[in-house]
Chain A
């Protein structure tokens, strides 16, 4: 393989990896605040893309994206408030099944609202034939947008958690909910906020990636599986590690195409997931051991 081809594979890998990382971060945000794995995470990307595509003909693209992000965030809030918040100490199994059911409902609702046609947002800059040269390799300008959005999300979250009061309160809740409550933190509102954040950020990524991967009603589930792989690989509860993990998974998938038949590309990333779950469920980057229980807080 010549260096240009290697670079090309790398670019493909980090593009998809960035998307998986954002999904993984979404998982992390909710898990940190609540101990729940929200299987509907992948569907937030789908919703963001779909809503934006519907709005795009009627308003400037940036406004359409903004509205899609806000609307999907509200869907996330709704999910928590209507279905999850009022459950008293539910069993883990019950929550898992519940969020899977919610994911299916979101998917089917999207199918009936938008039908099964595949849609795509207009390119943020350029069009479907634009191609930028990067050190000999070629990419669509949209790829740079996707990477920029992912970087923005990670940086923004980092600042949010470190510098704002709400962010610090969320971190406090994540590490010890009762102590946080004693300090006057409204844990329940923060949990709802975490759902809003994970949904909105997912929607933003969904919009960014829609021009190049197209948005269809059933894109949520495969994304959720891969995003969860990243979240676990990075160690649940650590957004920055999820990014590194996402890039890793993306790169493995991309390079696997050069050695394996394309038909088994997904098998490669799933085997990574299984290997990590079995060998090191606390993730590659987390220090020390974490509970295997995956329980609720």
Chain B
């Protein structure tokens, strides 16, 4: 009998716990759906920390338009279904001003229509081009276009006289977006792609596929993924004695990946925002002041290096705050229009220039070619 009562009480408690009480404290509600844990945690975890840090700073400085900012963070664990369910909650129940995130392209695509139909601003931290192309009124993204990353890689290859490459991509949304860009842009750059192989995000041994590529006499290898497999590729290549240049995507922008690859990471080339080399920038650089401020605050508080991903979330909230201030209100349409009107806006990932047809705002100049030297990120010579 006791068990019965206990069970019923537990169920009631759980139901109550799932309730979301819309306590109207006058705060500005900002929702965030990030992959804090799970397979994409390398992305979502720095993003979540960055947002929490920023919200505290904003509130400590008096808030936005005199009102506190309330961050409602949901951990999607990288799952598109959870992202969808949480998006519904944030839009329909919490009625947030904007949703920041999700961390991955797959989740972003799943909630793109939902946010657009729900007339809630979405500031995605994911890279796929399809998030903002075709442009949806309410959907923006902060990471640079993967097309530019591919373009930058091919330009570098051409300068080095590389004409035949092999590519490895992961089977996630980001990886497959990269595959599309590589296949589309390589011919125009005069580079022939011997093959593009798709590996599972949980892959533990890439020596067979690298053997295959080695047999095709490629002059360089491109790896496009955001998984820990990014560290496997350089290691496997060295172990196979496969000594050609390795290019990574901007998904490599977290020092953890370089550390995991150890000595094998030396000489890897990848396009990324200057965020990762902020301390080596000349003082006149437009982004330096902002980046150093973010770097010192984040590294001081969380005792870990900043990453490109944290930068995307940083930009998302920064853009939102700026738009709210410019619009002078938290009316969604006004804020949305204000975002579209932002020009020359200095962010962590680059200098943004939004417009009604450009909901990303970054061009190729927001990228630099970086490399790994002595275990640290440096600008490539």
Contacts and interface: CB of A to CB of B under 8 A. Distances in A.
- Complex contact flag A–B (Cβ < 8 Å): yes
Interface of A: 1-2, 5, 8-9, 11-13, 15-16, 111, 115-118, 120, 127-131, 133, 138-140, 212-214, 216, 218-219, 222, 253-255, 257-258, 261-263, 265-266
Contacts of A115: 37, 41
Contacts of A131: 238-241
Interface of B: 37-39, 41-42, 171, 197-200, 202, 204-205, 207-209, 211-212, 214-215, 228, 231-232, 235, 238-241, 256, 260-264
Interface of B is mostly: helix
Given A116-B38, A138-B241, A262 B199 contact: yes
B255 to A, nearest CB: 13
Given A5-B211, A216-B228, A128 B264 contact: yes
B208 A257 contact: yes
B98 to A, nearest CB: 27
Contact of A15 (B38, B205, B209, B238): B205
Contact of B211 (A12, A127, A128): A12
Contact of A140 (B38, B228, B239, B256): B239
A118 B198 CA distance: 20
Nearest to B232: A214
Nearest to B256: A117
Contacts of A253: 208
A120 B204 contact: no
A52 B211 CA distance: 30
Given A16-B205, A139-B239, A1 B39 contact: no
A147 to B, nearest CB: 14
B202 A219 contact: yes
A111 B208 contact: no
A262 B197 contact: yes
A222 B203 CA distance: 10
B260 A118 contact: yes
Contacts of B199: 262-263
13 contacts: A117-B41, A117-B42, A128-B263, A129-B263, A131-B239, A138-B240, A212-B205, A219-B202, A219-B204, A257-B209, A261-B197, A263-B198, A265-B208
B37 A111 contact: yes
A257 B212 contact: yes
B200 A118 contact: no
Closest 5 CB pairs of A and B: A213-B204, A118-B228, A140-B239, A138-B241, A257-B208
B209 A214 contact: no
A254 B264 contact: no
Contacts of A111: 37
Given A213-B204, A214-B232, A261 B198 contact: yes
Contacts of A263: 171, 197-200
B208 A9 contact: yes
Contacts of A218: 39, 202
Contacts of B262: 127-129
A74 B226 CA distance: 36
B307 to A, nearest CB: 13
A127 B261 CA distance: 10
